């Protein structure tokens, strides 16, 4: 089966009539959770409810009593990955990633005895967020938030605050 390209999709859409396209979108909406979440976010006039939903899930994952770090990290990584699939705005993706970092920093400030893997997971998300910020030109918008999270990371182990500061200025 040949790989479907955007050009082939556009050709298909141009030769389809409006009713066929509407039926296809409804089928996608009914069949795929990501499509339903995308339209839910697109068709609302208020703050993206999907963004708020994922932020709430991230906060809840970090707030669990006696969390297993590996499970927490994998659950949160999954949540961020899911959000990336349904979000069309890079700004919101950055917001979710930085929120994950902020919650992670708050978690290790609450309990400093975390593993290197826990810290590295936070650092990886931070680095990915910084790369996206610079690639999209959002430096000014997120500058204060980045400085704040780096400052709040200072009590952490494994030189996380220094590593975060290096990432923030080196990319």
Structure confidence at residue 44 (pLDDT): 62
Q: Which of 61, 41, 39 is nearest to 50 (CA)?
A: 41
Structure confidence at residue 120 (pLDDT): 94
Q: Which of 111, 95, 112 is nearest to 149 (CA)?
A: 95
Domain ranges (residues) in the chain:
47-170
pLDDT tens across 151-171, in order? Answer: 999 999 999 999 999 999 865
pTM summary value: 0.75
CA distances, 93 to each of 50, 52, 161 (Å): 11, 12, 22
């Amino acid at each position: 089966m040949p790989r479907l390209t955007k050009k082939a999709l556009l050709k298909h859409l141009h030769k389809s009539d409006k009713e066929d396209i509407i039926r296809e979108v409804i089928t996608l909406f009914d069949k795929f959770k990501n499509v339903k979440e995308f339209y839910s976010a697109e068709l609302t006039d208020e703050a993206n409810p999907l963004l708020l939903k994922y932020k709430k899930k991230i906060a809840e994952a970090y707030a669990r009593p006696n969390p297993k770090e590996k499970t927490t990290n994998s659950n949160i990584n999954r949540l961020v990955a899911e959000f990336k699939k349904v979000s069309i705005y890079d700004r919101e993706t950055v917001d979710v990633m930085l929120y994950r970092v902020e919650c992670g920093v708050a978690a290790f400030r609450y309990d400093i005895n975390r593993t290197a893997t826990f810290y590295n997971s936070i650092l990886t998300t931070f680095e990915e967020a910084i790369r996206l910020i610079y690639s999209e030109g959002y430096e000014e918008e997120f500058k204060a938030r980045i400085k704040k999270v780096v400052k709040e990371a200072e009590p952490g182990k494994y030189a996380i605050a220094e590593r975060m500061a290096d990432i923030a200025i080196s990319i």
